[in-house]
Structure 1
Amino acid sequence: MNTPTLVAGALWLVTLWRLPSVRHSHKQRSLALTFAALAAAMTLEVPAVRDAVNANAGVTGLPPLLKHLLGVGSAALLLDFVIAVVRPHGLAPRLRLAAIGITLPLMVVLYMLANWMPGGRVMIGAGKQAVPVLYSAVFTLYIGIAMIVATWLFLSGVRHSRTLPGKAGLGFLGLGTLLGSLYALQRVAFVTVRLTTGSGYPELENQISTVLKQLAILSIALGACLPPLSVAVEHIRAWTALKRLQPLWHRLTGAVPSVVLSTSIPKRRVRFRLDRCVIEIEDACLALREYVSAEVHQRARTLAIQKGVQEQEVEVVAEASWLRLAAASARTGSQLEGVEYPSLGVTGRSRVGELAWLRAVARSYTTSPVVAEFIRQEESLASLPAGGPERGSSHDN
């Protein structure tokens, strides 16, 4: 399988992936159509497709014209996408519409008038006619200006993006359009050399053009795929965090079911379910503080140290210990008054730190032997009535 076939196949896969986003917004529609145009253009470079078009179109040399028209269209659509992302208020819409409206028909006219060579390729500078040069100039000028503007916008947008995947996506898109700019510049350079010296380097020109074009397309495809992939990664992370927090949620809300909100959330909205799970766990912790004293928290910390719990895990084990004791006590309804309550370890943490803390507490709550031993010791002291087996809440996140 040759390289054009691989590139075209990859672009069609990206196009199919992005196709549902056509109905979402203007910028998503522009991006999806960009890949559709690029995929169609690269398909025309596949030898079997090119030969089939030449054999059935009735016009020799049609694939290069179609490929160039699709290339100009994809450049216009990509520029429209980056403007929608970086400059939502717009950027010279009338000028851009006039430019594409003039470029496409002018290319068709010049191509029809050009000195076509055997095989259908327009050989720049062939003979002494100026039409092929004008055709290439129109095509290259539009591609070059569009890619330079898009590069500037993409790279300027990197500074304002708030997430690492967003910065990486804009960076790869900017790299792709920069390579597109270099593609246009090298075409100008080879034409200039041919017109001024009469010497041509068709093989070198073709090699450089192909490499720059394919690298530009692949970089643009990668840049466009990174943000959606990051969304999928975040979805998986949220789902994993939710599954790890649910055992703790069941036990705490089973002790104080009043903290559970009555509104249900669809299963597919994992991020909202995780946020609600965290909120209800924290509300349950606040409610359970009234069933134990700060001295109990201190005893739990002391036992964790005595049992050789790692320093960074001491506070986690201590919090899991008093929460488990408080959950057992809450079922008897014996709240404490006039005492100092334990402080919550989750307080004052960032969003990431908050999730990491609660996941660690959830793990210690159900699996730590130190937590289990602390509960046995407290029950043996008979300072609190022994709690029955913890029951799960009838609610679900």
Structure 2
Amino acid sequence: MSTSTLVAGVLWLVALWRLPSLRHSRKQRSLALTLVTLAAAMTFEVPQVKGAVDATVGADARLSPLLKHLLGVASAACLLDFVIAVVRPQGLARRTRLVAVGVTLPLMLAFYAAANWKPGGPVRLGEGRGALFPVLYMTAFTLYIGIAMVVATWLFLGGVRHSRTLLGKAGLGFLGLGTLLGSLYTLQRIAFVTVQLASGTRYPEAENLLSTVLKQATVLSVAIGVCLPPLSVAVDYVAAWSNLRKLRPLWIELTAAAPYVVLTTSVSRTRIPFRLERCVIEIEDACLALREYVPVNTYTEAQEFVRRKRVDPQRSDAVAEACWLRASVERARNGERLRGVEYPPLGVTGRDRASELLWLRNVARAYVSSAVVSEFVRQEQPSDFNEQGAPERISSNGN
């Protein structure tokens, strides 16, 4: 299998994967069209496809390069539209971009038709009035691709710092690398043509090798960059599932003592991020409800007990939180809610999303498996609670 065949195959797989997004937003539609046109363009570099086209219309017609270049221009236009939708949602020179692609494609067709193509390469100066048309054809193609790639590189690399996820940053980085390589592809084409026109010297092997390597590296970088941001969605889904699995034992314990905090609306088991959000909310609501069963001195005693047991300082606050929560659950089973006392503060208050999940995971792990928590609950006596205020028996089902 040739490298061009492998590259085209990878592109088609990515393009077919993204094809359903054609019906979504403008950004997703532009990306899907970029991949489809780029995959189609690279298909005309596959030897079998190129041979079949040449056999149908004749090798002298040079139809494969023409279709490849036209599709390349269309792909660059769609890619530019995509990056502007991502990085500059307010838009950027839309009318100018439409005029540029609207002028480039007809000029390429006109110069192609008027050129007296010679076998052996993309640019060959022949005899007569058609001698310069191959040069003009390649100039129109190269200028459009070059300018589009430079602008796209600037936008992609500038947008890396604004992405919120690591995979999103990596995706934009690979897309920026791909368009940068596309810019280098354009520069090397200009350099070889300039040398040929100025001195008549040609380096066909070096030109072909460098052009192929840069082109394929560009395509693969773009394909990788396209795949990484959607992959971040899958990573987030797995992370949500992992968090939900770790928090569920704590949720079961707390909501069993305060069942009235559980929302009644059912949720599909496949909606993991939503289920995690609901789990966190219900745990926090249960904590608010259960702290009414213990006075604040239980919280301070838990902290002192944890310090005496020399728990790792990085986990000590979470272990102390689990201690008083376990004590409050035991108290709630007797239905004895305290009135007129100060309640323990919640450790989860005032945290951002990431630290909130980390805190709850640490509390859940301590609640379920810490020997320190179990020992603290065993040593707690009902009188410790009653000293802080008169208990009031209130059924949980009444709330």
Superposition deviation, residue 59 in structure 1: 5.8
Conserved? CA contact 2:167–2:229, under 8 Å: yes
1:164-218 CA-partner distances (Å, limit 9, x unpaired) = 3333322222221121112111111111110111111111111111121112112
Q: Percent identity?
A: 64
Please give the alpha-carbon distance, in whole angstroms, between the structure 2 residues aligned to 1:340 and 1:312: 26
Q: Residue 125 of structure 1 aligns to which amino acid in structure 2?
A: L
**Which aligned pairs between 1:181-200 and structure 2 lie closer than 5 A?**
181-200=183-202
Of stretches 35-44 and 84-93 in structure 1, the one that deviates more from structure 2 is 84-93
Matches within 5 A, 1:1-397: 1-58=1-58, 60=60, 61-118=62-119, 121-126=121-126, 129-378=131-380
Can you list the C-alpha shifts for 1:267-291, whole angstroms capped at 9, x where unaligned? Answer: 3332222122111111111111111
**Further displaced range: 11-20 or 95-104:** 95-104
The DSSP-based 3-state class of the residue aligned with 2:380 is helix
Deviation at 1:143, TM superposition (A): 0.8
Deviations 1:236-286 (A, max 9, x none): 111110111111111111111121223333333322221221111111111
Conserved? CA contact 2:123–2:193, under 8 Å:
no
SS in 1 for 2:325: helix
SS for the counterpart of 1:335 is strand
Q: Give the whole-Å Cα distance in 2 for the aligned partners of 1:383 and 1:149.
A: 70
C-alpha separation in 1, matches of 2:363 and 2:169 = 34
Shift of residue 126, structure 1, vs aligned partner? 4.9
The one-letter code matched in structure 2 to 1:11 is L
Deviation at 1:22, TM superposition (A): 1.2
User: 1:389: which partner in 2?
Assistant: none
Aligned residue for 2:337, secondary structure, equals: coil
**Deviation (angstroms), 1:326:** 0.8
Q: Structure 1 regions of 5+ residues with no counterpart?
A: 386-392
Rounded Cα–Cα distance in structure 2 between residues aligned with 1:264 and 1:320: 28
Deviation per CA, 1:107-163: give whole Å up to 9, x if none: 2232233233346x4334355711111111111111111112222222332343344
Q: Is the CA contact 2:302–2:324 (under 8 Å) kept in the aligned structure 1?
A: yes
Q: Which moved more, 1:322-331 or 1:51-60?
A: 51-60
TM-score (norm 2): 0.90
Distance 1:207 1:194 in 2: 17
Contact 1:18 1:32 in 2 (8 A): yes
Contact residue 125 and residue 191 of structure 1 kept, 8 A: no
Distance 2:283 2:24 in 1: 35
The CA distance in 1 between the partners of 2:17 and 2:48, in whole Å, is 25
CA-based RMSD: 2.2
Offset, 1:220: 1.6
State the TM-score, normalizing by the size of structure 1: 0.90
| Corresponding letter in the other structure for 1:349 | R
Letter matched to residue 22 of structure 1:
L
Tell me, yes or no, if the aligned pair for 1:115 and 1:122 is still in contact at 8 Å. Answer: no
- How many Å separate the matches in 2 of 1:229 and 1:124? 45
Matches of 1:36 and 1:220, distance apart in 2: 12
Q: Aligned letter for 1:135?
A: Y
Letter in 1 for 2:125: G
Distance (Å, rounded) in 2 between the aligned partners of 1:299 and 1:127: 98
Aligned residues: 384
Contact 1:140 1:188 in 2 (8 A): yes
Structure 1 pair 368–245 and aligned structure 2 pair: CA distance change class (3 A): same
* CA positional deviation for 1:383: 5.4
Deviation at 1:316, TM superposition (A): 1.6
Please, which runs of 5 or more residues in structure 2 have no aligned partner? Answer: 387-396
1-structure distance, mates of 2:353, 2:215: 42
